Amino acid sequence: MPESAQNLPDLVISSPFGQAQNERVNMNIATVPNHFPGVPSWPLISPAVSPNMSADVQSALGGIAPGPPEVIYSSAANAWKGFLVEKHVCSPGVRAPAMTDRHVISLLCGRAARFEYASQGCRGGLSIEPPGSLTIIPRGHVPGVRLHTSAEFTHCALEEDFTRGVLNEMEPRPCGQPVFRVGVRDTGIQRILDLLVHELEAAAPTGRLYVESLVFALATRYLLLFRSGRGERQKPQTAALPQRILNRVRARIEASVDTDISLEALAEESGYSRAHFLRMFREATGVTPHQYVLDVRLRHAQEWLRKKNSALIDIAAVCGFSSQSHMTSVFRKRLGVTPGEFRRTA
């Protein structure tokens, strides 16, 4: 087990992968006792609404929030399949024990917060967690908690089928069972969550391939928290994609440059799993699939700017950028100029 997951309290053990794949966890928390009597708790589905969500959309993660949540951002309206990303600000309060049908990774942001957990009818001790602390919530039972201070959280909820799909592609496959843990420190997970929130705050300009690659890496790191045995720590050797397959993938990217191409589509084109494809593509090209696609879009945009008198917004669309501002951002980062400046000097 990695150092970031050592010496942590195993408050409630759950075994989501021991259950049938199609089994649904009961989401009714009315029968679950509140271990902080006299203090009201809130329902599993939070009525809090995000400024970037319509008024009739509710948060599916309100029940795992440690205090009454206000949803600041949510990916519920995005076409992200298999996972949900939300940013909450929680007020002090009590959450009754609950059940969740997803695997949730929660990152404490901003400033330290004070918690008091209850486990199986017993009060847990007070703990003060610093910013960057992770709470790991596997599918199943979620213990009650009292939040003593206001706090800001980023949550990423992984659906069971998505998580199982990542697990099945891992070599070697982790043997440990997920358990509820608090106070986990993992800089890799923290960086990925920060990137996902940044993408969400920017209205997801970078596209599905980027987000799906991030969440695939996040799910992998989540599952590795529960590995056991020294043999699992060995990193498998990675071969490069065979040239004929790499050429086929490149042709698919060229033909789909104006679309929001997915990781699954590229992996399917290669004939490998997503995990193998990501490693083998990088070994063959030196860059990630997302970086490669961005390079192709940039090259196409340069060609259009040299030869065509089209509007910048039309060039951005035909080259697969989410907007003109997204294209401008990529030009500035990669070339140091705006598309308009490039056109004038081309």
* 40 pLDDT tier (thresholds 50, 70, 90): very low
The residue extents of the domains of the chain are 3-224, 238-286, 294-345
Segments of 168-315 assigned E as strands: 181-184
Identity of the residue numbered 4: S
Q: Is the Cα torsion angle 138, 139, 145, 148 positive or negative in sign?
A: positive
CATH topology of domain 238-286: Arc Repressor Mutant, subunit A (1.10.10)
First to last CA, the chain: 55
CA-CA distance, 146 to 119, in Å (whole number)? Answer: 12
Token digits for 239? Answer: 């071969």
In this prediction the pTM is 0.77
Q: How many CB atoms lie within 10 A of CB 341?
A: 14
CA-CA distance, 267 to 260, in Å (whole number)? Answer: 15
More confident residue, 42 or 225: 225
Q: Are 319 and 339 in contact (CB under 8 A)?
A: no
So what's the pLDDT on residue 227? Answer: 75
CA-CA distance, 64 to 325, in Å (whole number)? Answer: 36
pLDDT surpasses 80 at 132:
yes
Q: Are 130 and 156 in contact (CB under 8 A)?
A: no
Please determine whether the domains at 3-224 and 238-286 fall in the same fold group of CATH. Answer: no
Q: Is the Cα torsion angle 294, 295, 296, 301 positive or negative in sign?
A: positive
Token digits for 346? Answer: 């081309």
Token digits for 160? Answer: 């069971």
> For residue 64, which of 106, 14, 11, 121 has the smallest C-alpha distance?
106
DSSP assignment letter at 155: E
So what's the pLDDT on residue 236? Answer: 59
CA-CA distance, 325 to 313, in Å (whole number)? Answer: 9
Q: For residue 127, give the H/E element and its range.
A: strand 122-129
CA-CA distance, 268 to 263, in Å (whole number)? Answer: 9
CATH of 3-224, one of 2.60.120.10, 3.30.70.560, 3.40.50.300, 3.40.50.1100: 2.60.120.10
Q: Which CATH superfamily is domain 294-345 in?
A: Homeodomain-like (1.10.10.60)
Identity of the residue numbered 151: A
pLDDT surpasses 80 at 220:
yes
Angle at 136 between CA 115 and CA 48, to 5 degrees: 65
Q: Are 66 and 95 in contact (CB under 8 A)?
A: yes
Q: Are strands 93-95 and 134-137 parallel, antiparallel or unpaired?
A: unpaired
Task: Give percent of the chain with pLDDT exceeding 90.
Answer: 61
Residue partners of 118: CB distance under 8 A and separation at least 6:
35, 36, 97, 124, 143, 144, 145, 146
| Pick from 80-84, 114-118, 315-319, 327-331: least confident | 114-118
Q: Is 166 helix (H, G, I), strand (E, B) or coil?
A: helix
Helices 263-270 and 274-285: angle between axes, nearest 10 degrees: 80
Residue partners of 7: CB distance under 8 A and separation at least 6:
none
> For residue 186, which of 210, 157, 213, 218 has the smallest C-alpha distance?
218
Residue partners of 178: CB distance under 8 A and separation at least 6:
14, 15, 16, 17, 103, 136, 138, 139, 223, 225, 226
So what's the pLDDT on residue 5? Answer: 36
Q: Are 48 and 60 in contact (CB under 8 A)?
A: no
Q: Residues 12-21: pLDDT tens digits?
A: 323 333 333 3
CA-CA distance, 310 to 300, in Å (whole number)? Answer: 13
So what's the pLDDT on residue 13? Answer: 28
pLDDT surpasses 50 at 198:
yes
More confident residue, 59 or 299: 299
What backbone torsions phi and psi does residue 220 show, to the nearest 5 degrees?
-65, -45
